Structure 1
Amino acid sequence: MTKPVDNGRRDSFKKLIVGGAAFGSLSSFDMKEEPKALKGNITHGVCHWCFRDYSLEDFCVEVKKIGIKGVDLIGTKGWDTLKKHGIYSSMCNGAEISLTEGFGETKYHDQLVKNYTEMIPLVAEAGYKNLICFSGNRRGMDDETGLKNCQEGLEKILPIAEKHGVIIQMELLNSKINHKDYLCDKSAFGVELCKRLGSPNFKLLFDIYHMQIDEGDLIRNITDYHEYIGHYHTAGNPGRNELGDDQEINYPAVMRAILATGYKGYVSHEFIPKKEDKMASLAEGVAICDV
């Protein structure tokens, strides 16, 4: 006896196959095809440093084809190139000393205050609003000392940021793998700093890859702390490579959680492509996150 066809099960399986294609291998993604129009719910950015084979000029041309609207971590020398191609400087840099030398140590405050005092007006004059900063390394200090030091230094520049409408954003970085001894390595530390500063012009750059390594529980933390988050970065874990199904972060689910908070800013891709066609990797990462 022939069994009746279970249309519901068949349709569900078809949906699973189609959905899996967006989260699948790069072999299914052909950059020769015209990129599909993005849904527009997520505003995509990208970090140029991950694609150093491309000059900034060529990079702008290529990412614009994918539908990316912003490039992160560009300083004053690159802004004219971005503007030429109609691309936004979604996270400016150039005032920091380094990732390891930051606001967590008072000996760097004078230089940092000088740098940010000069840079903040330039960011505003160029029509941008996000400027990155770092806590620097812990070097034996406890959280409370680190929080007090960061607060002391940042309070000296936040009035300038508020005056010019610039948001200072401290990046959360993992201290387990990539940035040993980094101070601001947990959401709770960054959120406490935000609360102590009490300024809408200080936010956290929530790097999804880094926080997956150091704390996990991504969706809960994004949901609970979203009011303190001003920007997002992506990368696959482990490896900091492509966002496909050979890594552990469920990016579509994370993107839906971000959207549920009402977030309207940039989600910028900061993964290091390991496959030969780097632009295909980037286009696939955008497609995966385009919920």
Structure 2
Amino acid sequence: MRQCACIDTLYTELPWEKRFQAAKNDGFESVEFWDWRNHDLDCTRTSAEKAKIKISGFNGDADFSLIDPKQKEKYLDFLQQSIAVAKKIGAESVTIHSNALGPNGVVVHYYTELSNTVKLCSMYDTLLVCAKLAEESGIQINLEALNIITDHVGNFLQHTQMAAEITRLIHSPKLKILYDIYHMQLNEGSICDTLHKYHDQIGHIHVADVPGRHEPGTGEIHYIKIFQCLKSLQYKGRIGYELFPKTHTQEAVKAIMSYWNLPDAVPNQEPG
């Protein structure tokens, strides 16, 4: 397992170009972020190279929705732009979603006028092409389900089962799911059972506690057991810390590393 820092939520007290070195100094193997359109791409690549830290990825869809059959061409056009950006800056993956997301992750359109059948078939149809683009480019694509309880009301893709069964059917080594523990604790729970069922489809994992979306140990999720579960499953991918520090970044990093330093280490205090 490799540790990845989301530098749109961590190290925000620093200028963009300094976040890469800060993450490297704290022991992260890679960084990720949200919307590539918000950042200077040359600066991003240069900063990562200077810090000798990898760029895991970023969001690849933005303004368009997988579940809208009328947006298929526009969705794929933008995804191709995102893939080109990934190559430009040396990123290894892009993350995609069922619905277009606006500021603060607000779902732009609920598509109540479309049936679930149309939404699901449209998503599957477009993902077939996404998988082909991923294979041709060598850039991993990760499909992420989101919580509809707190952050993304109206999002269509809500559960791990739907996301993982679709990627299994498409059966591409370059199309997997992003399993976000924070989102899925809110939507479905049963984290360890879910990991056992679908670990073969997981391309990336996000970590944050519930409630608050802060670092592990600040909420109700028993991350000790979850990390033990991942180790038992021999998960080899990245764990991205997409979380908002409860106080400041350095305290959050201390909590993160307390779960990580030794293979079977247990922090001094278990999560509440």
Which bin holds the TM-score, normalised by the shorter protein? 0.7 to 0.9
CA contact (8 A) 2:61 2:82 kept: no
> Displacement of 1:105 after TM fit?
1.3
What is the match of residue 259 of structure 1?
A: 231
Residue 64 (structure 1) aligned with residue 24 (structure 2): yes
The amino acid that maps onto 1:173 is: L
4+ aligned runs moved over 3 Å, structure 1 = 74-77, 124-128, 141-144
| Counterpart secondary structure, 1:205 | strand
Cα distance per residue 1:203-222 (max 9 Å; x no partner) = 11100000000000000101
CA distance in 2, matches of 1:223, 1:47: 25
Matches within 5 A, 1:1-291: 42-51=1-10, 52-73=12-33, 75=36, 76-77=41-42, 78-93=44-59, 95-98=60-63, 101-124=64-87, 126-136=89-99, 138-140=110-112, 141-244=114-217, 246-275=218-247, 277-290=248-261, 291=263
Distance in 1 of aligned mates of 2:192 and 2:260: 14
Which position in structure 2 is the counterpart of 1:7? none
Letter in 2 for 1:219: C
Aligned residue identity for 2:244:
I
Provide the C-alpha distance between the structure 2 equivalents of 1:190 and 1:218, rounded to a whole number of angstroms.
Answer: 15
User: Residue 105 of structure 1 aligns to which amino acid in structure 2?
Assistant: D
Amino acid at match of 2:131: L
Q: Which runs of 5+ in 2 are unaligned?
A: 100-106, 264-272
CA contact (8 A) 1:102 1:133 kept: no
What is the deviation of 1:149?
0.8
Q: Residues 198, 215 of structure 1: CA spacing in aligned structure 2 closer, same or farther, 3 A cutoff?
A: same
Equivalent position amino acid for 2:254 in 1 = A
Number of matched pairs? 245
SS of the equivalent of 2:205 reads strand
Tell me which amino acid in the other structure corresponds to 2:58.
Answer: C
Deviation (angstroms), 1:66:
1.5
The separation in 2 between residues aligned to 1:227 and 1:142, in whole angstroms, is 30
User: How big is the shift at 1:121?
Assistant: 4.2
Cα displacement (A) at 1:257 = 1.2
TM (norm. structure 2) is 0.83
Question: How much is the aligned-residue C-alpha RMSD, in angstroms?
Answer: 2.0
1:173 and 1:289, CA in 2 relative to 1: closer, same or farther beyond 3 A? Answer: farther
Inter-CA distance 250–289: structure 2 relative to 1 (3 Å threshold): farther
Aligned to 2:268: none
**How far has the Cα of 1:188 moved from its partner?**
1.0
Cα 1:144–1:255 change in 2 (3 A) is farther
The runs of 5 or more residues in structure 1 that have no matched partner are: 1-41
Q: 1:288 deviation in Å?
A: 2.1
Between the aligned residues of both structures, percent identity stands at: 23
Distance (Å, rounded) in 2 between the aligned partners of 1:146 and 1:259: 35
Contact 1:133 1:169 survives alignment (8 Å): yes
Query: What's the CA shift string for 1:66-91, capped at 9, x where partnerless?
Result: 20111112634522211221111112
Q: Which SS does the other structure have where 1:50 is aligned?
A: coil
1:82–1:261: structure 2 CA closer, same or farther, 3 Å change rule?
same
Task: Judge conservation of contact 1:143–1:189 (CA < 8 Å) in 2.
Answer: no
Larger CA deviation: 210-219 vs 45-54: 45-54
TM-score (norm 1): 0.78
Structure 1, residues 217-252: CA drift from partner, whole Å, max 9, x if none?
A: 0001011101111000111101111212x4111112
| Structure with bigger gyration radius | 1
TM-superposed CA distance for 1:122, in Å, is 4.3
Q: Does the Cα contact within 8 Å between 1:235 and 1:270 map onto a contact in 2?
A: yes
